[in-house]
Amino acid sequence: MTYPTDRPATWFVTGASRGLGLDLVRRLLQRGDNVAATTRSTERLTTALRASDTSRLLALPVELADEDQVAHAVTSTQERFGGLDVVVNNAGYGYLGAVEEVSDADARAMFDVQVFGAWNVLRAVLPGFREARSGHVINVSSVLGLLSFPGWSLYTAGKFALEAITESLAAEVADHGIRVNLVEPGYMRTDFLRPVSLGLPGSTSDAYPAIREMVDQHLRMPGTQLGDPAKAAAAIITIATTGEAPLHQLLGSDSLSLATGRLQSLADDVEASRALATTTDIPATDRPTT
């Protein structure tokens, strides 16, 4: 796909009323692009954008876990703007708690947004992208889609799943003229670690004092994070307009450092597993010949 230069591009952005999503929508409107922005509260979104020109904004109240609502939102976008160029699956929220503290309801709610919600969007937009032989999917993951820490199991499980879906998707649609990217930010100065965007288990165990300390540290973190969401939004626009980003695009020096450490850790594990790994093959002399 060539990013359109002869007309405003049309973007579909989920999770648009706070944080990175809001900064992205604001910058796109400033550029003069068309933006369909999904949110659970269109009032919160439009209030946040009261200083912006919203004539090219389509604010859509959508529960991403509802496949019919998502499909209707995509159809409404195409009808309003005459097409669709870039989809950004950005919706998500944090969750901090030990594995055994995560309830079934909390786990399913997280996957509804981060995994099934994104999947609903993809199913809705891909037929049109294939027909047009163009389109760009940008899935907002996290450096915690590449590694995990104690207390982050639920959030990272969702991001790991999104990474797997995206890697498969990129290979599946490459021959259809569709581009795909993952964005993997580190910590950003958003509401991600505030109560409005952070889930905590309803009951906790005294068996995990280190996780309680970690949670307390993160609740005190807002305002000190390294990443600038406005600059991350600008980076996403660069990814779309240039088409030059790798499949995995890290954002933030903290993200880069953590990912580099993960590569070394994984390389060490591969080497340490080599001797036992080779013992499980069927001997060459017992394999069928052709």
The residues carrying an active-site annotation are 141, 155, 159
Specify the residue for token string 């795909």: 180
* Alpha-carbon distances of 265 from 146, 169, 210, 270, rounded to whole Å: 12, 27, 22, 9
- Kind and range of the H or E element at 257? helix 253-277
Q: Which amino acid is at 194?
A: R
Distance CA 64, CA 58 (A): 16
The angle that helices 153-173 and 118-132 make with each other, rounded to 10 degrees, is 10
Q: Could you tell me which residues come within 8 angstroms of residue 109 by beta carbon, excluding any fewer than 6 positions away?
A: 199
User: 188 forms bridges with which residues in the sheet?
Assistant: 227
Helix, strand, coil tally for the chain in percent (to 5): 50, 15, 35
Distance CA 114, CA 118 (A): 6
